[in-house]
Structures are given as C-alpha cells and as structure tokens.
C-alpha cells in the first residue's frame, strides 16, 4: 500500500521564554490510503504539534526545522504558502477537539460548509446547496434543511462536532487529521462520532490520523498505533500486536494504568514523574527518569527504533539487549524477522559518485568518471540485498558511499529515516556503530599487531559500546562464541588464524558495536568453498537471530541464491535490474542479467 501521508525525520521547535522547545523531534510515520493510524501519548508529548506541522499551522513561535512531510507526490514543506492553502481543506483536512473554537460564530453552519466547497471546487449556487445538504445528512445531522440555517451556538456539542466533520469532508480530502475529536463529548455521542468517522473513512478510502490519549478509542478505531513520548515515537505496531503485547515500558505503563475489573483488587499502576521539559537536551532515553527498568546505558545513549516483528517497532535498549542475547530468540522468530521487511532500514535514492579526471600541469578537471550514476535501492531489517555485477561495475563504491567513507556527488542515503549525506563527522559518528562493513580480505583489515580482544574492544571503546572494561570483556567472550571461535582466541594475533577464522574475527568485530546493517563486500570470495559455506551459514544464522540487514556485494551468483532476499544487478555504475531474488535469478528481464546467469558454470 502506498503512503497517503509520510513524515520523515520531522522536527518542530517552539521559541519559549525557557529556550527552544523541541516538540517534535525526528518523527517518522507513514499512513496508507484507507488506514486509521492512531497517535497516542500523554499531553505535551508532541502529538498535536505533529499534526499542526503537517498542515503548517504552527503558532507564531513555532518553526519546522527539519525532515519532510509528503502528501502523495507533494513535498508539503517545500510548497509556497498559496499552494499550501489549496492543500489545506482540499487534500488534508483537520478536525479539532473543541468544535466551537473551529466554527465561525457569525456564519450559519450551512454557509461554512458551502464556503469550503466554493473555495475548492467549481460548484456554485444550487449545486453547492445540494452538496451541503448531502454532507449534513451524511454526518447524521437531523433535519439538515433547517439546521443548515442555524449558528454553531444553536447546536449541541455532538451536532457541532458533526458540522465540523461535514466541513472537513466537504471536498473528499485524502487525509483527515482528527485531534482528540471526541474528548469534549459524552460517551454516547463519542460512540456515534467514532462510528461516523469509521464509516466515512471506509467509504471514502481516506487516511485517518487519529490523535488521542484514549486507548479504548485506539482499540476501536486504529489499524496501527504509534506511541509518542517527549517528541519522539517510541513504539509503532499493528493494533492487534500492540494490544496483545506492548513492548515499550511507557506503553506497558499506559496499559497498567488503565482502570478495569481486573485491577479492582489493588491500586492502579502509576507512571511516576512527568514528561520531561522538551527544552532540555537529552543524553539518553527520554523516558529513563520514569522507567523502572532503566539501566546504565539508558541514561547515556538514546535508543534507536528496533524492528521486532512485522511492522512492530520499539525504541528501547532493553529490546535490543534481548535481541542480542541468542537465548532470547524465541522459536519461529526467523520467519517473523524475514517478514519484518515492511520498512527499509537503508534507503538510497539516485546516488551518484563521480570522480574528476584531471589533466595537465594545473590538474584541470577535464571530465568525470561516473563510478556510480543514479543508484536507488532499499534494504529492510532482517533482509539481504545482494548487489551483483562484474568488477568495475561500481558495487564497492556504492557500499563505501552508503557508509559515507566516500562522499557522494549527489543523491540521498537515509539510514533509519535520517539523511546521512552532508552529515558532519560528529553527527555521523552516531551511526557508525549501526552500520558496519566486512571486507573481502580479513587479513588486510585486521591490525596484525593487535590481539583479537583488543581489536574487538577498540571499536566498542571508540563508539561508546559497553560502559566499563569489564562489560566489554564479557561482551567479547560472548561475541567469539557467537561467531564460533574458542574463548582463547581473544589472546591471539590475526596471523595465528586460518582465513575462515580471520573472517569470523572480522565479523565479530563488526558485531561488537551492535550494528543493524552490515555491508559485506565480497566477504567470502577469498575463501575456500567449505570455509565459505561456514561463513555464509554464520551470516545467515546471525541475521535470523539478530535481525541484521545485509547489503551483500558479490559477483558470485550462487552465494546470492543462497543468501539474498532481493537482488540488484549493476553495470557501468547503474542498476539495470532489481527485484526479489527468485524473480531476478529465475526469470531475469534484462539481457545483462541473463548473460551473467548464463555465464555461471553449473555443476551438472
Ligand atoms: Fe526504559 Fe531504558 Fe527502555 Fe528507556 S531505553 S524505556 S529507560 S529500558
């Protein structure tokens, strides 16, 4: 399903006397057509500011400072205000908690709905009147002929809310944002309004962003749920998964705090403290001060979103720790991980790396070698994208440009929703741990003068993984076991190992800093087939256990068949074909892919 509305890395600040308040701090979400997406959380978490940012209706002190808001093909943040006015009401409409503030007191409700129609369509006169009547009837206002001549103050709260919905839906918007639409209403009216919203949404295939603090409403309405806390989304899940097993400690607390018959015997759980002021800078998890499960790392390092299972994501170090521990992987998890491909962890768009050709005494640039020329690809959590092609096709350059080891000439590289191109060194350091590389020749990539323990600890230390030396030492022991090396390997130097073992050391080094994406650049092509099989098995097992994403650069199509979920074929700096592995390898469309496949020697 394509997204009707997509927010990526959205940041909004408000100038306050206490300083800059970061109300929305890197929010990513995508809502499909016909989907109801609920945004829940306590007041002051940034839900409404997110909605107002979409419509660019911020108060004067507010500013959108980063990210993007896409409505289908439109980049809303790049639109001139005049064009934005057409989008508001026409393509994205909003209804608020308190209809009396949103309705104009000096115009009849019929006139207000008519104005929306006249502003956004070519209908006039009797046609407008007919449409107003139709809309007022559709939202369940009785006697619409009479009510259309009434003013807001003459209507009950429920009818006012219905009139506002009629105005919002007057021109069939693609997206409706409903900000606590029923909070001011009685429960029976609330039920009617929710019923109405659900019906209209179903009939019109609208995307509905429903902002609420009420989990009961979420259970009734939402297809998916996002929990917002202190300006960030801390959990996203399909409704069933969220209600079955919320994963973030904050979400769990929201449930535990719900009154119900089961809680009758004892006091309800409380969430101690308050949402922290968003004027402060956060060094670690924003929920740490209120979280009973917080541990040392939580105060030191902000958690990043972790994909758990299909469409379920959570921002919590605990889940990462569980995932890193092999024993925590429940049976059947590999399949779930494989299905967790909905959202790309890495997204590359139109990447270009051009090297200047310089000639003459003055080294003038006389042209460019287009090593990579417009490459787009995506890799999801727990998936392997194989980048295949002959030497010189640009595969390795793509890998290096993704990791920002080479500066791209143009294009976009997004990791977990954040744009990496142009990031300053310090900002990039945050992502260094998450994105690792394993090279073809482990011997060349491991410092021959360092023992294995020091090689593994070096990366952890420089990227701040493990609080103490003792913790790092414990982790090194676990890592060696994970990659199938004996514990005494720690004290040995690289030259004391075989080629396959060295590659295991290189893999352990990459894993040491808890990456989510590994660029594997021909990691087995220097190895014997038997050793290659061990390494491939190891890579696959680690992916299933840890949910790693691999960009697997290779020229070996047999390896691709074994390991890859998706394949992209490169030639002359461009991708000539890409798709699911079965399709590209089984029924290639491009003649170059066919030629590559035909060239593979077959055993039989
Ligand atoms: Fe609690 Fe730590 Fe998870 Fe934050 S990262 S929610 S503090 S356990």
Distance from Cα 248 to the centre of ligand 1, integer Å: 8
Q: Quick one: pLDDT at residue 501?
A: 86
Nearest CA to ligand 1 atom 5: 316
C-alpha angle 462-382-303 in degrees, rounded to nearest 5 = 45
Atom of ligand 1 nearest to the CA of 286: 4
Please give the average per-residue pLDDT across 226-232, as a whole number.
Answer: 95
Please give the average per-residue pLDDT across 446-469, as a whole number.
Answer: 89
Question: Is 344-434+515-599 assigned to CATH 3.40.50.300?
Answer: yes
Q: Quick check: CB of 318 below 6 Å from ligand 1?
A: yes
Q: Quick one: pLDDT at residue 223?
A: 94
What's the CA gap between 180 and 51, in Å, rounded? Answer: 11
Q: Calculate the alpha carbon distances from 14 to 58, 81, 88 in Å.
A: 9, 20, 22
Q: Tell me the per-residue pLDDT of 509-544, one tens digit each, with 9 for 90 and over.
A: 998 888 999 999 988 877 766 577 778 888 888 888
Nearest CA to ligand 1 atom 3: 316
Question: What are the b/e assignments for 76-106, b being 16+ CB within 10 Å?
Answer: bbebeeeebeebbbbbbbbbbbbbeebbeee
With cut-offs at 50, 70 and 90, classify the pLDDT of residue 326. Answer: very low
Whole-number average pLDDT of the chain: 86
What's the CA gap between 327 and 404, in Å, rounded? Answer: 34
Q: Quick one: pLDDT at residue 328?
A: 33
Query: 1-91+178-261 and 344-434+515-599 share one CATH topology?
Result: yes
With cut-offs at 50, 70 and 90, classify the pLDDT of residue 334. Answer: very low
Q: Which DSSP symbol is given to 439? A: -
Which fold, 1-91+178-261? Rossmann fold (3.40.50)
Please give the average per-residue pLDDT across 38-56, as a whole number.
Answer: 90
CA 493 to chain centre: 40
Please give the average per-residue pLDDT across 31-55, as a whole number.
Answer: 91
Read out DSSP for 399-417? HHHHTTSS--SEEEEEETT
* In the chain, % of residues over pLDDT 90: 44
Q: Tell me the per-residue pLDDT of 86-145, one tens digit each, with 9 for 90 and over.
A: 899 889 999 887 777 778 888 999 999 999 899 888 889 999 999 999 889 888 888 999
Distance from Cα 312 to the centre of ligand 1, integer Å: 17
What's the CA gap between 547 and 545, in Å, rounded? Answer: 6
With cut-offs at 50, 70 and 90, classify the pLDDT of residue 320. Answer: confident
With cut-offs at 50, 70 and 90, classify the pLDDT of residue 56. Answer: very high
Distance from Cα 255 to the centre of ligand 1, integer Å: 17
* In the chain, % of residues over pLDDT 70: 91
Q: Tell me the per-residue pLDDT of 274-290, one tens digit each, with 9 for 90 and over.
A: 788 899 999 999 999 98
Atom of ligand 1 nearest to the CA of 291: 1
Distance from Cα 319 to the centre of ligand 1, integer Å: 9
Give me the residue spans of the domains in the chain. 1-91+178-261, 100-172, 344-434+515-599, 448-512
What pTM value is reported for the model? 0.55
Q: Is 512 left (phi over 0), alpha (psi -120 to 50) or beta?
A: alpha
Distance from Cα 469 to the centre of ligand 1, integer Å: 22
Which tops the pLDDT comparison, 482 or 334?
482
Atom of ligand 1 nearest to the CA of 319: 3
């Amino acid at each position: 399903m394509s997204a009707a509305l997509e927010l990526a890395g959205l940041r909004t600040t408000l100038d306050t006397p206490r300083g800059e308040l970061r109300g929305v701090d890197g929010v990513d979400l995508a809502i499909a057509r016909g989907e109801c997406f609920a945004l829940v959380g306590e007041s002051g978490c940034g839900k409404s500011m997110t909605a107002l940012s979409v419509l660019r209706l911020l108060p004067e002190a507010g500013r959108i400072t980063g990210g993007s808001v896409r409505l289908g093909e439109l980049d809303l943040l790049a639109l001139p205000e005049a064009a934005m006015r057409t989008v508001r009401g026409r393509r994205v409409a909003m209804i608020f908690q308190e209809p009396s503030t949103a309705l104009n007191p000096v115009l009849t409700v019929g006139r207000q709905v008519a104005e929306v129609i006249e502003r956004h369509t070519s209908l006039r006169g009797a046609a407008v009147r007919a449409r107003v009547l139709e809309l007022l009837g559709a939202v369940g206002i009785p006697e619409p002929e009479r009510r259309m001549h009434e003013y807001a103050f003459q209507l009950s709260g429920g009818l006012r809310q219905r009139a506002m919905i009629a105005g919002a839906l007057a021109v069939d918007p693609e997206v409706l944002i409903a900000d606590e639409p029923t909070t001011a209403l009685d429960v029976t009216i609330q039920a009617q309004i929710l019923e109405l919203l659900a019906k209209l949404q179903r009939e019109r295939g609208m995307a509905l962003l429903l902002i609420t603090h009420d989990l009961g409403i979420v259970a009734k309405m939402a297809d998916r749920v996002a929990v917002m806390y202190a300006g960030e989304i801390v959990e996203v899940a399909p409704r069933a998964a969220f209600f079955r097993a919320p994963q973030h400690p904050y979400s769990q607390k929201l449930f535990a705090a719900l009154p119900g018959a089961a809680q009758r015997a004892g006091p309800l759980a409380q969430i101690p403290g308050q949402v922290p002021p968003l004027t402060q800078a956060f060094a670690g998890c924003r929920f740490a001060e209120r979280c009973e499960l917080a541990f040392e790392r939580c105060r030191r390092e902000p958690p990043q979103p972790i994909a758990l299972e299909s469409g379920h994501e959570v921002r919590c170090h605990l889940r990462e720790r569980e995932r890193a521990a092999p024993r925590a992987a429940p049976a059947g998890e590999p399949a779930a991980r494989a299905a967790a491909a909905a959202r790309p962890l890495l997204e590359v768009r139109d990447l270009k790396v051009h090297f200047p050709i310089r000639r003459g005494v003055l080294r003038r640039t006389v042209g460019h070698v287009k090593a990579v020329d417009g490459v787009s690809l995506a890799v999801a959590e727990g998936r392997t994208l194989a980048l295949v092609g002959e030497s010189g096709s640009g595969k390795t350059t793509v890998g290096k440009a993704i990791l920002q080891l080479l500066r791209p000439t143009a294009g976009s590289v997004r990791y977990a929703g954040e744009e990496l191109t142009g990031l300053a060194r310090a900002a990039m350091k945050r992502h260094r741990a998450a994105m690792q590389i394993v090279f073809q020749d482990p011997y060349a990539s491991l410092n021959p003068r360092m023992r294995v323990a020091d090689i593994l600890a070096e990366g952890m230390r420089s990227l701040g993984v493990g609080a103490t030396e003792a913790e790092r030492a414990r982790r090194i022991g676990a890592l060696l076991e994970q990659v199938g090396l004996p514990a005494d390997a720690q004290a040995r130097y690289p030259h004391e190992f075989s080629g396959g073992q060295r590659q295991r050391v290189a893999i352990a080094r990459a894993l040491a800093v808890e990456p989510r994406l590994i660029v594997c650049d021909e990691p087995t092509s220097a190895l014997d087939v038997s050793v290659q099989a061990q390494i491939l098995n190891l890579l696959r097992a680690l992916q299933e256990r840890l949910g790693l994403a691999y960009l697997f650069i290779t020229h070996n199509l047999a390896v691709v068949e074994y390991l890859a979920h998706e394949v992209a074929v490169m030639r002359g700096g461009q991708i000539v074909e890409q798709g699911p592995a079965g399709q590209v390898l089984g029924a290639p469309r491009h003649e170059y892919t066919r030629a590559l496949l035909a060239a593979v020697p077959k055993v039989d």
